[in-house]
Amino acid sequence: MASKILGPDIGLILKNKTPEDVARAMIESGGQKEPFYVFCIDEAYNRIQHFKKMMPRIQIFYAMKANDSDKMLKLAAGLGLGFDCASPGEINKILKLNISPLSIIFALPIKSPEWMVFARDSGIRHTTFDSINELKTIKQYWPDAKLLIRIKVDGESIYKLGEKFGCDFETEAVYLLEKAAALDLKVVGVAFHVGSACSSADSHVIGLRQAKALFDHEARAGRHMNIIDIGGGFLSDRTDRIDQVSKLINSTLGELFPDPNIQVIAEPGRYICDSSCNLYCSISNVRRVTKGEEIVNMIYLNDGLFGSLRYHEPWHTVKRFQTRGEVINENPERTILWGPSCDSTDRVMENLDIFLPRCTSLDWLVFSTQGAYTFGFASSFSCLEKPQIRSVISQELWDKIKNSTFFNSNEFTEEYDISSALPSTLPRITKTRNITGSNNTLKI
Ligand SMILES: Cc1ncc(COP(=O)(O)O)c(C=O)c1O
């Protein structure tokens, strides 16, 4: 019997089923051949609620670069979040949801004149800067922008954004504030980002102390700032990861910025969405090869480095998820994971020692915590398609959010076959007429 197909636009309302049950049913039915994500909307919702609970004073401007899937953006919009956008494409996506441009911060300190004009004409008011040249370009193309000075605050983070952005607090910040004033530009606040996946608990506090010094400088100069943007950087592997950091942030805000009229915003990305998605990949082939003294299993997957498995983080895991064939050997063996392209750099989790039970081409692997910075990075290299997403939601949560203007009433359904496959992304076979061909043809 042909398995049913259900497109990624329609999510499933789960009743007594888990996201894993959905993945298992899709795989076991044999209809799902391509790699796919299961996106648990409840998990992202719970992260947002926990963030709000732990830092009630802080307004979330979701960093959509982390996961800009339709349903993630609608959930964020439905819960009243603002958005941190970093390109005209992102701005466009948010405005198309009928969200006010005042709910967007264009949090990119270096922008081309064209991008500034696009943001200005779209009604965006707030952006960041960290250099004198940016100030001059803003003066020319977006003189009424409300500016936040981006200072460099690098914590113990995996992705040190300070290497690319942020002026030096000691040597540059005051100079830039004075230059902005001389250009008659309006600086309304201070922004920083401690780096993505930041493990030092006090980095945000350092940023807040430096922000306070700049607020004081501006006040002494008779100018007034009223926004602090503490960026993102929160670890995503556990929901309670922000508990310790949030206590430090809250007490520092109380000490340094007791005035409730000062707006405090954050731009979390990874923390909100990472744990909401798992990626399921099937195995196209397994080769056993000898490397030195050792026999190694080389597994060829249907997603890889040029797809959505580009980065691996210390908290990512890979496991055998489901097997439809005979189990050969449960003992973990050294394994190399290859992506589907012809390129030999297409090796997944290259720097990790991977041990998996011996797999066959009937097995699937599951990669956990893949909701942030994954499908957004997928390239079109070698015309490879990126994995599609099966979204799932609990009845309880759907009842809560379905009446928000952002969701259509048929966006999630309870009438479904749990094992329905996502549509194939294989191109239709082209029936060529009037073949003109090149001179080089292969011998038949
Ligand atoms: C300006 C800005 N804000 C927020 C984020 C999101 O950071 P994270 O996903 O670590 O929370 C980034 C990530 O690059 C960023 O550049």
Summarize pLDDT for 365-404 with one digit per residue, the tens: 999 999 999 999 999 999 999 999 999 999 999 999 999 9
Residue ranges around ligand 1 (CB below 6 Å): 63, 66, 84, 107, 161, 193, 196, 231-234, 267-271
Q: Can you give the pLDDT at residue 2?
A: 63
Q: Can you give the pLDDT at residue 383?
A: 97
Q: Tokens 């953006």 appear where?
A: 73
Check whether 1 has a pLDDT greater than 90.
Answer: no
What b/e sequence results for 29-59 when a residue is b if at least 16 CB atoms lie within 10 Å of its CB, and e otherwise? bebbebbbbbbbbbbbbbbbebbeebbeebb
Give the span between the Cα atoms of 363 and 357, in whole angstroms.
Answer: 11
% of the chain with per-residue pLDDT over 90? 93
Distance 389 CA to ligand 1 centre (A): 23
Distance 42 CA to ligand 1 centre (A): 22
Q: Can you give the pLDDT at residue 431?
A: 79
Distance 357 CA to ligand 1 centre (A): 36
3-state secondary structure 145-190: CEEEEEEECCCCEEECHHHCCCECCCCCHHHHHHHHHHCCCEEEEE
β-pair partners for 227:
189, 263
40 is catalytic: no
Distance 176 CA to ligand 1 centre (A): 23
Summarize pLDDT for 284-310 with one digit per residue, the tens: 999 999 999 999 999 999 999 999 999
The catalytic position among 40, 273, 342, 359 is 342
Q: Can you give the pLDDT at residue 3?
A: 74
Domains of the chain from N-terminus onward: 11-19+29-41+276-397 (2.40.37.10), 42-273 (3.20.20.10)
For residue 174, which of 206, 205, 132 has the smallest C-alpha distance? 132
The three-class DSSP label of residue 64 is helix
Check whether 325 has a pLDDT greater than 80.
Answer: no
The chain-wide mean pLDDT, for the chain, equals 96
Summarize pLDDT for 91-145 with one digit per residue, the tens: 999 999 999 999 999 999 999 999 999 999 999 999 999 999 999 999 999 999 9
Distance 150 CA to ligand 1 centre (A): 13
Confidence of residue 434 (pLDDT cuts 50, 70, 90): confident
Find out whether 372 and 360 touch, Cβ atoms under 8 Å.
Answer: no
Burial of 84 (0-12, 13-18, 19+ CB in 10 A): buried
Best mutation site among 84, 105, 241 for ligand 1 pocket (most ligand atoms within 8 Å of CB): 84
Ligand 1 atom showing the smallest separation from residue 195 Cα: 10
Best mutation site among 161, 241, 276 for ligand 1 pocket (most ligand atoms within 8 Å of CB): 161
For residue 265, which of 422, 79, 51 has the smallest C-alpha distance? 51
Find out whether 130 and 166 touch, Cβ atoms under 8 Å.
Answer: yes
**pTM assigned to the model:** 0.97
Check whether 170 has a pLDDT greater than 60.
Answer: yes
**Lowest pLDDT segment from 109-113, 250-254, 262-266, 440-444:** 440-444
Q: Can you give the pLDDT at residue 190?
A: 98
Run of H or E including 83 = strand 82-85
Strand residues in 181-254 grouped as ranges (E): 186-193, 196-198, 227-229
Find out whether 46 and 239 touch, Cβ atoms under 8 Å.
Answer: yes
Q: Can you give the pLDDT at residue 322?
A: 77
**Lowest pLDDT segment from 215-229, 247-261, 324-338:** 324-338
Best mutation site among 267, 273, 377 for ligand 1 pocket (most ligand atoms within 8 Å of CB): 267
Instruction: Identify the residue whose C-alpha is closest to ligand 1 atom 2.
Output: 231
Mean pLDDT of 195-206: 96
Distance 270 CA to ligand 1 centre (A): 8
Give the span between the Cα atoms of 319 and 325, in whole angstroms.
Answer: 16
For residue 130, which of 69, 70, 176, 87 has the smallest C-alpha distance? 176
* Angle of helix 203-220 versus helix 242-256 axis, rounded to 10: 20
Helix, strand, coil fractions of the chain, as percent rounded to 5: 30, 25, 45
Check whether 335 has a pLDDT greater than 90.
Answer: yes
% of the chain with per-residue pLDDT over 70? 99
